Amino acid sequence: MDVLRCLIPEKDTTNHTSVIEILIELSNRAVSELKTLYFITPLKNGPLVYELKQNTTAKKLLNSTRKPHNSFFRWDSLSTLTFIVDNSLVLCAYLNPEELAVIDSKIHGNAEMYVVEFDPGVCKIWHERWKTII
């Protein structure tokens, strides 16, 4: 199993700029590379989701998860995630190291995992384990 793991600090915790930028970039990659993008948030409501829905592109992505034919994008909370298929893209927003360890255990095969941390340093334990930062 070969998993690329990257830690990205949030640039703007009010508007969630990093999450939105990376979500859009990875969703475009998922479509062009025929991969599945898993977007994992602590909850499916709250300030992060509210701000994401203020961005037109992000809102369309979040709403597309209701369509059964969308195989390129899955939006899960930690409680609803069962497993991550091989060769996927994974974006985790504002999770703590313990939650990231749970997600790591659900990855089967190759994947690229991007973690946006809300407070710089919160995921330092996770970062120390994997040693990849953008």
**pLDDT one digit per residue (tens) for the chain, 134 residues:** 577 888 888 887 777 888 999 999 999 999 899 999 999 988 888 788 888 889 898 888 888 876 666 678 888 888 888 888 888 999 999 998 888 888 888 887 789 999 998 888 888 777 777 665 44
d(CA 134, CA 111): 17
Q: What is the pLDDT of residue 1?
A: 55
Torsion of CA 117, 122, 125, 128, to 10 degrees: 60
Fold of the CATH domain 3-129: Rossmann fold (3.40.50)
Ramachandran sector of residue 104 (left: φ over 0; alpha: ψ -120 to 50; beta: rest): alpha
Contact present, 37 and 2 (Cβ < 8 Å)? no
